[in-house]
Amino acid sequence: MTATDRSIELITAAAQAAADRLAHDIIAYDVSDVLSITDAFLLASAPNDRQVKSIVDEIEEKLLKELGAKPVRREGDRDARWILLDYIDIVVHVQHSEERVFYALERLWKDCPEIDLPEDAKLTKGKAEEHAALRAAQGDDELDGDLF
């Protein structure tokens, strides 16, 4: 079994919305063979809580406006360290960069096929490392608010 056309459409739009808000390391997995509850996962991250919220808001707005899709559940808003949007067909995880490293969801789903994403989303690969290196080079923990 593979992800449905609708799931791919939702993942593609969500990935583009995340890229538009400068998310880091956007990746999507077809989990339909190993999970019965959803077809695909989208993972993205950001270096600060404010940007995590901005990415999630953009994804929600784009999927509603362009595809008429509303999440059935939204979790993690309070702390904005890891926000989950459940659209039934897909689940979107937007994490603070620190949570992304700690929980390493990519390790859990590495055996699942990756879903091809828009070019803008592909270009985000490695952005979290670049951001961390820049922060370390400048010795400034306050950069999180400056580098979207």
Give 79's pLDDT tier (boundaries 50, 70, 90): confident
pLDDT tens readout for residues 36-61 = 999 999 999 999 999 999 999 999 99
pLDDT at 140 over 70: no
Give 116's pLDDT tier (boundaries 50, 70, 90): very high
Q: Closest by alpha carbon to 74, among 115, 3, 61, 66?
A: 61
C-alpha–C-alpha distance, residues 96 and 110, integer Å: 20
pLDDT at 141 over 50: yes
Give 129's pLDDT tier (boundaries 50, 70, 90): confident
Of the two residues 145 and 95, the one the predictor is more confident about is 95
- Residue 147: the pLDDT is 45
* β-strand pairing of 40-46 with 73-75: unpaired
Any idea what DSSP says for residue 115?
P
Q: Note whether 61 and 70 are within 8 A (CB).
A: no
pLDDT at 120 over 90: yes
For the chain, what is the mean pLDDT? 90
Give 31's pLDDT tier (boundaries 50, 70, 90): very high
C-alpha–C-alpha distance, residues 28 and 42, integer Å: 4
In this prediction, what percent of the chain has a pLDDT beyond 90? Answer: 79
Q: Note whether 43 and 34 are within 8 A (CB).
A: no
Mean pLDDT of 23-38: 95
